[in-house]
Structure 1
């Protein structure tokens, strides 16, 4: 397990209850995943899948591993939507696949959560008009 609490990918040992899984991505090899990994660990992610690939790159091996790893009752957590999808169409496709697999989805920055009733739930921020 890494210093942030996200376990490295590899052998799967399922916990006795579903736990959040994290996914993070940076666009270049020079960028650092530490901030995303720390936020995912703080969100309770027991396992994180981390890619270093441009958003335009369809070859994201850790995303593929994550989609194979998650199972019904799990929740996928991302720091922000742009870390998951390359485009709105890509994002809708990935979240749709998670839904078909029975996996919830949460985005920390946008405060989106499909684990509450199976649909996107938008939370109002403090000071926003009603």
Structure 2
């Protein structure tokens, strides 16, 4: 897979492998990471890296791709994400919107659903 979808897939694969180096390689040095619609959570690859170092320590971390849509340089993923929350293992639905520029993720917006604890 190549183009914008390939970049986003490599990023998801690295996320699931908890490979911070491969994950950050998919992001532009000046990338912006937002909580949808406009809350800036991290600016630049280093801040994005810092956000994910602790998350990548979670033993059950996994993003399952439900569906993907690509229009030009924009990729929209629907995912089911498994995480280890303070209150226990759980899942949440996520919509991720990626803007690709020069072969890297330049901007990303994330809309998180409610947490559901797994029993």
Query: TM-score, with normalisation over the residues of structure 2?
Result: 0.27
Which has the bigger relative contact order, CA under 8 A and spacing at least 6? 2
Higher strand share: 2
